[in-house]
Structure 1
Amino acid sequence: MKINERPLLFVIGQILNPLVAVETLILIAQYYEFPFEGQLFILAIFAFLVVAKLLDTVDLTSSIKTFWAHTVGAIFLRWFVVITLMSLMGYFSRILGESSRVLLVTWFIITPFAIVLAQLSARYLLDRLVISEENLNNAVIVSVNDLSLRLATRFAEHPVYGIYCWGFFDDRDPNRLHADTEMPIGKLLGKLSEVAAFVKTNQINHVYIAAPMTDQPRIMFLLDELRDTTVSIYFVPDVFLYDLIQANISAIHEIPIVAVCETPFAGINGFVKRVSDVILSVLILILISPLLLLISLGVKLDSPGPVIFKQHRYGLDGEEIVVYKFRSMTVSENGDSVIQATRNDSRITSFGAFLRKTSLDELPQFINVLQGRMSIVGPRPHAVAHNELYRKQIKGYMIRHKVKPGITGWAQVNGYRGETELLEKMEARIDCDLDYLRNWSLPFDFYIIFMTIVVVIKDRNAY
């Protein structure tokens, strides 16, 4: 997955060409008053699949010069292959009759021009309407050299990447850097030791490290400092052994980029994850709606207080979110000091003990999923007070916030559910969370959901 392929760009790039080909066929059929059904409908499906396979993914980030020099010629050449397959299919399978020949010839001629026009229109709309300053990711570059300066120039010249570069960090003297590279001194933000603090205070999303391998000790120090943030880290281009999270290699205009710590839900994965979350949550909420009403009544009758307990927790990128649960305690701790529930905790109500034992108190979080705050599967959200405690004690703790928190997770089905009274238990839970980030797939999510059902039935650690 290329880092420039944000979910919208990736989806458009995948479906633009086949959609244009099919839509052109539909419009031409209407013009010739040819019914779009039966054989022609089958041809449209076949055309969509063939075009999606033979006409490569649209690169909406390439320059206009590259587009006219290379892309347009490739479109016409590959479209010739498509019409050859279409013609063979029509001849041998007898799908189309004599009356449709004019329709097909017209479609064969017009479609490549329509695809070129669609790609140009998509570029214009993305540049003018979609890529706005509010949507840009803030970035800084570590080390000043020819490669890092070229990278900053690419970001400035191509807003479709969605990156705004604040400037550079380098330990060398500013005046010397300005003399050697003609870089504006104002673009130098500080030294390497100041990167982590700058990232935390200025909502920086991406850090690009262009330092050479000879700076490995300082880079390792920087990476350790950045572990206490949710920033995405990329190497340009050197790489050495590191605790890789969804590592991948890509390029920005032939400049190699290595993602060291990235969310698994970049590009199409994020789209797939969100769609599966919404569909499953809607179905589950419909099925359990009677149960939700019964539990609400039970909570209300069991003890005074609200039915729903709202707690501030860390969500995606470490931003605070509000998480819903059925109230299971006589108190509603949501401040700087939150005491974890323990076995035989006097604060837990009689009905609340049953809810916690069966994990039924978590059911309102399916509403959080629909709101976009949570996912069905992901690292469990911890209270803000616990986050502030453990981020100082466990290296890499904040990396788990590169994805939305989940109702259930890989740690929970591996036995790390309930109280974590020892630091070692929390470290093991975080190891599972990071393992989930490294190995995410949709089947993996479904496996965790299935194992959660098994664990809830058998587990004795919840209280």
Structure 2
Amino acid sequence: MRDLIITNSSRLELSMRLMDVIVLECAGALAGLLHFHIPLSETPPIHTVLLHFCSALAFLLFPQFQLYVSWRGRSLPDMFVRLVGAWGVVLLIGLFFSFLVHHVGNVSRLWMFYWYALGVALLVVFRFAVYYALRMLRAKGLNSKRVIIVGYGSTGKEMHRRAMQQDWTGYDVKAVCADPLDSDKIVDPSIARLASLKEVHDYAVAQHIHEIWVTLPLTASSRLQELQYLMRNTFVDIRWVPDVLGLQMLSNRMGNFLGLPVVDLNQPVTSGIHGIVKEIFDRSFALLALFLLLPLFIVIAIMIKRTSPGPVFFKQPRLGLNGRQFNVYKFRTMKVHQEQNTVTQATKNDPRLTPIGGFLRRTSLDELPQFINVLLGDMSVVGPRPHAMQHNEIYKDLLETYMLRHRVKPGITGWAQIHGHRGETETLDKMATRVQFDLHYIQHWSLWMDLRIIAWTAFKGWTGKNAY
């Protein structure tokens, strides 16, 4: 009973394909009633021909879009995107077919639009129903897949935790093959401990295992080859999930390069189309901010000039995107002085501060001219704060991941700043914590995250005990 659906997966796929054809036929007929207000059979014959032609074509083409593979543990939005694309391709081919038979002029474009929209809606509803029905069965222990985990480092433990926590995915971890020290960390007595890859093979055959998850580190490729050889005569799925949780990566996106699969380890999320979206948002936001803040700029400039001699703005070199140097702009908060090959961070009650400088720093108003840097393309509204050049030279050798923060544009505010990690970093631990928050932002960036940080900064983040 537990393997009933698994052993009949081919029949389930055929049933799904036939149901999709029925769904599309019904969607086309319903679209005809909505548009023509009469049965589709009473409209020009090309509509009925297209109805049957496209439905049959979907039966043949949908498998090419991987719509019938197991989506157990995979992303549902990805499946729906494939579904929308596949149905669109089928209708385009149908429209081209009507052109070839010289009846394209008789085809109602509005009917085809209704058919497309209704088809997408009904196909999605149907898949949701199937998905949640299978999910409930798996949560009850039915239709589950028995799994062996090979390697029990950080990634192996995480895979095991997720399999137990997300019981609706239907993965039942039966055994673990790991070093004795790692095996001792398994508290569940029902899980078998396997000491060698030969035992993995014997256990998989005896217990009818469905999948083996290999979570070995990248350096253990020889063991992966050995496992593949041992399992060569079995029909067990082997998934390789490299143990990379210990690596500091900005991304793990799969791609294709020179015809071969590649994994980008340090390409930030804000590259590609996401980078364009962020760039447009930054420039637009900076232009609006500078326009609205112009009166405040004038007031601050007058106060700076009246309280101390020197320029209104202070500029200093910083590292930007991919290490490109630029000059960051701030309102001057200190008396004009010269430092030789060193940068001394501002401290509480710093004697170098001008009468207005302390207030500007505590309220972060001194940072406002950096909207000019954003407009020039040197900075983003949100991102890791740019540090002095000398600090970069110091910390790049002390903190292994320090320079990864320069894979994106620096920002006026950031994830670290709204969590209180701003101001003076007099200890290595403080800088390490700030860098970890910066890397979290880079790895999990979204436009919504930027908006949250901006809102938090506007209402709560302009002042703080560490700002001086």
- C-alpha separation in 2, matches of 1:267 and 1:93: 31
Paired residue type of 1:396: T
Question: Which residue of the partner structure matches residue 92 of structure 2?
Answer: 79
Describe the superposition over 1:322-363 as per-residue Cα deviations: whole angstroms up to 9, x where unpaired.
Answer: 000000000355762000000000001111111111111111
Offset, 1:444: 0.3
Paired residue type of 1:359: S
- C-alpha separation in 2, matches of 1:390 and 1:215: 34
Match of 1:385 among 367, 376, 390: 390
- 1:196-211 pair list within 5 angstroms: none
Paired residue type of 2:351: S
Describe the superposition over 1:187-216 as per-residue Cα deviations: whole angstroms up to 9, x where unpaired.
Answer: xxxxxxxxxxxxxxxxxxxxxxxxx84589
Describe the superposition over 1:213-250 as per-residue Cα deviations: whole angstroms up to 9, x where unpaired.
Answer: 4589xxxxxxxxxxxxxxxxxxxx99541222122111
- 1:65-214 pair list within 5 angstroms: 79-81=92-94, 87-90=107-110, 213=219
Q: Do residues 322 (structure 1) and 342 (structure 2) align?
A: no
Question: Which residue of the partner structure matches residue 368 of structure 1?
Answer: 373
- C-alpha separation in 2, matches of 1:93 and 1:238: 42
Describe the superposition over 1:438-462 as per-residue Cα deviations: whole angstroms up to 9, x where unpaired.
Answer: 1000000011111112333552221
- 1:214-233 pair list within 5 angstroms: none
SS of structure 2 residue aligned to 1:309: strand
Question: Which residue of the partner structure matches residue 271 of structure 1?
Answer: 276
Offset, 1:417: 1.1
Structure 1: 5+ residue stretches without partners: 1-53, 57-73, 95-211, 217-236
- 1:247-258 pair list within 5 angstroms: 247-258=252-263
CA-based RMSD of the aligned residues comes to: 3.2
Gap change, CA 1:340 and 1:92, over 3 Å in 2:
closer
Q: Do residues 436 (structure 1) and 441 (structure 2) align?
A: yes
Match of 2:349 among 321, 344, 357: 344
Match of 1:357 among 357, 362, 377: 362
- C-alpha separation in 1, matches of 2:393 and 2:329: 21
Offset, 1:79: 3.1
Q: Do residues 243 (structure 1) and 256 (structure 2) align?
A: no
Q: Do residues 286 (structure 1) and 291 (structure 2) align?
A: yes
- C-alpha separation in 2, matches of 1:81 and 1:435: 47
Percent of matched pairs sharing the same residue: 43
Structure 2: 5+ residue stretches without partners: 1-61, 66-86, 99-103, 115-217, 223-239
- Check the 8 A contact 2:334/2:354 in 1, yes or no: yes
- Check the 8 A contact 1:309/1:332 in 2, yes or no: no
- C-alpha separation in 2, matches of 1:332 and 1:264: 40
Gap change, CA 1:79 and 1:450, over 3 Å in 2:
same
Between Structure 1 and Structure 2, how many residues are aligned?
256
Describe the superposition over 1:150-192 as per-residue Cα deviations: whole angstroms up to 9, x where unpaired.
Answer: xxxxxxxxxxxxxxxxxxxxxxxxxxxxxxxxxxxxxxxxxxx
Gap change, CA 1:397 and 1:368, over 3 Å in 2:
same
TM-score in terms of structure 1 length: 0.51
- Check the 8 A contact 2:415/2:441 in 1, yes or no: yes
Paired residue type of 1:280: F
- C-alpha separation in 2, matches of 1:335 and 1:320: 19
Question: Which residue of the partner structure matches residue 460 of structure 1?
Answer: 465
- Check the 8 A contact 2:311/2:332 in 1, yes or no: yes
Using CA pairs below 8 Å that are at least 6 residues apart, which structure has the higher relative contact order?
1
- C-alpha separation in 1, matches of 2:413 and 2:431: 16
- Check the 8 A contact 1:362/1:407 in 2, yes or no: yes
TM-score in terms of structure 2 length: 0.50
Q: Do residues 424 (structure 1) and 405 (structure 2) align?
A: no
SS of structure 2 residue aligned to 1:398: helix
Describe the superposition over 1:28-79 as per-residue Cα deviations: whole angstroms up to 9, x where unpaired.
Answer: xxxxxxxxxxxxxxxxxxxxxxxxxx9x9xxxxxxxxxxxxxxxxx999763
Paired residue type of 2:281: S
- C-alpha separation in 2, matches of 1:91 and 1:430: 56
Gap change, CA 1:380 and 1:315, over 3 Å in 2:
same
Gap change, CA 1:384 and 1:91, over 3 Å in 2:
closer
Paired residue type of 1:397: Y
Gap change, CA 1:333 and 1:385, over 3 Å in 2:
farther
